[in-house]
Amino acid sequence: MDVTEDELLTAIRRVLSDAPPEVVVGVGDDAAVVRPGAGELVLTTDALVEGSHFVRGLTTPRDLGHRAIAVNVSDIAAMAASPRYALCALTLSDAVDAAWTMELFGGMREACDAFACTLVGGNLARGRDVTVAVTVCGEVASGRAITRAGARAGEVVVVTGELGSSSAGRRLRDRGPSWDELERAAIRLADRGQARVGEGALLARHGATAMLDISDGLCLDLARLCAVSAVGVRLRQTDLPVGPRATVDEALGGGEDHELLAAMPAADVGPAAAAMHETFGVPLTAIGDVTPAGLVLLDAAGQERPLPAAGWDHFA
């Protein structure tokens, strides 16, 4: 590193200045002190590891910082909660310099501003590879968090936005070197991540009984929701909102879309979709039905087959 740790911390503090009044003690002390809100705390953590979640030469530090915050905020959104505070434990290798690190914090700051949360502290360490480990603390009104557990047979499965774009983005980025506007949007999603915070709260207000964010692929995450809710599903392939540059396989199995997948009573879907379009300009699509048991895909030929469990399982 081309600067001392204290010089780097001083520079980082400048990037993270002007914390809101609820932050009593922010970056730079032994620990942060914040005033809690009235609801329940919602906590999550996730690490982006070089070589496993990103290749340093293929992403900018600014995009990487944005993504590290966004993937955590997406988990908060999936509980129908609001993000409030973030912490970052950063491992830096000899291959990155102060400018790279400042850009990374710039990207985290950008994401925090976009999602109305504050980076209140963290830690710097040295290691062989870069790791960006982020913890986000959110809030939700007492008893209002939406878990994966509440889906009931007879309800409808809905999904926000479009599916498969993030995997399409990774594929298209590797293909290069020139892209059209929709391809660039897919690559941007893959590089920067996203979180559907307002959308999660809207789904909760409109009767969602179970919810999660799609991080490892529709099929795998849907199977997880069904397992925890002890229900089955009949997914309709022709109803999937496949991203404009994505394939059906990418929509079914591609990871890191960070769209919200929820179950809700059929009567709530129309009003929820109308409100979602009106408020956020984001589509909400019914893609299947909750059944008593079994994971079934109705394919494009009208044949029923077992839901492929393909997903982006890190431990597979």
In the complex, the residues that contact Mg ion under the rule CB under 5 A are: 75, 213
**Residue position matching structure tokens 């908060």:** 76
Nearer to Mg ion, 213 or 250 (CB): 213
Residue placing its CB nearer to Mg ion in the complex, 26 or 253 = 253
Name the minimum Å distance from CB 75 to Mg ion.
Answer: 4
When the beta carbons of 104 and 146 are compared against Mg ion, the nearer one is 146
Hey, how many other C-beta atoms are within 10 angstroms of the C-beta on 286?
17
SS3 content of the chain, % helix, strand, coil (to 5): 35, 25, 35
Nearer to Mg ion, 27 or 71 (CB): 71
CB 112 → Mg ion: shortest distance, Å? 19
- What is the end-to-end Cα distance of the chain in Å, rounded? 36
Cα separation, 85 vs 174, whole angstroms? 34
**Contact at 8 Å (CB) between 159 and 243?**
no
- C-alpha neighbours within 13 Å on the C-beta side of residue 125: 13
| Least distance between Mg ion and beta carbon 117 (Å) | 17
Nearest approach in angstroms of CB 12 to Mg ion is: 28
Neighbours of 247 (CB within 10 A): 15
Please tell me whether residue 275 adopts helix, strand or coil conformation: helix
Number of CB atoms found within 10 A of residue 46's CB: 18
Question: At its nearest, how many Å lie between Mg ion and the CB of residue 79?
Answer: 9
Q: Specify the residue, 63 or 213, whose C-beta has the smaller distance to Mg ion.
A: 213
Least Å from the CB of residue 258 to Mg ion: 8
**Rounded CA gap, 59 and 173, in Å?**
10
SS3 call for 42: strand
Closer residue to Mg ion in complex, CB, 50/213: 213
